[in-house]
Amino acid sequence: MKRVIFKTEHKIFRASFRKYLKDKLIPHYDQWEAAGVLPKEVWLEAGKHGWLCPTAEEKHGGAGGDFLYSVIIIEELYYHSLQGVFWPTHSDIIYPYIEKYAIEEQKERWLPKCITGESILAIAMTEPAVGSDLAQLSTTAVRNGDQYIVNGSKTFLSNGQLADLCVAAVRTSDTERPHDGISLLVIESDREGYRKGRKLEKIGLHAQDTSELFFDNCRVPASNLLGAEGSGFKYLMQNLQQERLVIAIGAFASAKGALDLTLEHVKERRAFGKTIGQFQNTRFSLAEIATKIQLAQSFLDDLIPRHMAGEDLVKEVSMAKYWMTDMQFEVADRCLQFFGGYGYMKEYPISRHFVDARVQRIYGGANEIMKELIARRLNI
């Protein structure tokens, strides 16, 4: 099915980015998985080529592209089982907070280096005792003259070891409504009292550094406040639409990548005198998988332009996030089965599609939360 949302310039960009992945990333990805982190130099190279923050305004050093350029980067990374390259989190989930809520002085201070890869972004929301209920976070930021003194801890921090700038959700006041006491601070990682904890060992996404973070009387200038004090929860809710859409796009692309690997494999692997692709079970299973992927693509190609037009799509992106990440894991599981024992070997990309898919149903709001959000929009 032809994807009419992409124009000629987008297709040229996709071809260029795909070649870059095949030449520069895929040959080294196993090394980065073993190291548990993507080298800083890879981020800097991405910045030079324009792969970071493609929607950033030209006045800050960006290309000023539309969101479809981000969609292409997400799709290609996930399709090629490079999910541990967390450029989309940097570019399309965290960067928009600064671009949308920062004043011009802050933008000039922070954004150019985010675009070049000199400053890697992280967002600190989750706390050890708090999961999806962000209103209950306990990390405090107490105003002291022209500074905030920050104390508390965060966990599951994506890009946590490499991060130079962290957008942190903190409690700046105790209010009757817990949501109203939350603010966002941008905190530089070299500040005294900002302490990176251990790099967490995960079952998947091995090339991506996930960390704990501790604030011990960390002094942050009041000028690092993002937007208005007490509006942090509102800002988080407003930006979650794009975050969940990004996750859904990746889920679709990963499922498509897993299917294409499997289609190639079943045409070559033989059993009982014929290719396993000739068995009815194989044909029917892959027909079912292909149908689900096509449905996902059609849904996304409807949602993406509407999101770009500024529509409120909380219900729809919640549907996309939960259904497509469930589908992604199912597809990876079923496709891996056709590889037999080889599918369980790390050297086969299908194994990464499988292990990297599991977390998709958890972060960005667990899928159970997505169903609750959908139900609320159904007025039940």
Q: Please tell me the distance from the alpha carbon of residue 209 to that of residue 197, in angstroms, as a whole number.
A: 11
148 neighbors 193 (Cβ within 8 angstroms): no
Two structure tokens written together for 20: 């870059």
152 neighbors 140 (Cβ within 8 angstroms): yes
Residue 211 has φ and ψ, to the nearest 5°, of -140, 165
326 burial (CB, 10 Å; 0-12 / 13-18 / 19+) is middle
Residue 155 has φ and ψ, to the nearest 5°, of -140, 170
Spatial neighbors of 341 by CB under 8 A, at least 6 apart, are none
317 neighbors 248 (Cβ within 8 angstroms): yes
DSSP 65-83: --HHHHHHHHHHHHHTT-T
Of 243, 264, 268, 288, which is the active-site residue?
243
Residues in the chain: 380
Return the exposure string of 266-290: e unless at least 16 CB atoms fall within 10 Å of the residue's CB, then b. Answer: beeeeeeeeebbeeeebeebbeebe
- Tell me, yes or no, if 243 is annotated catalytic: yes
Give the active site residues.
243
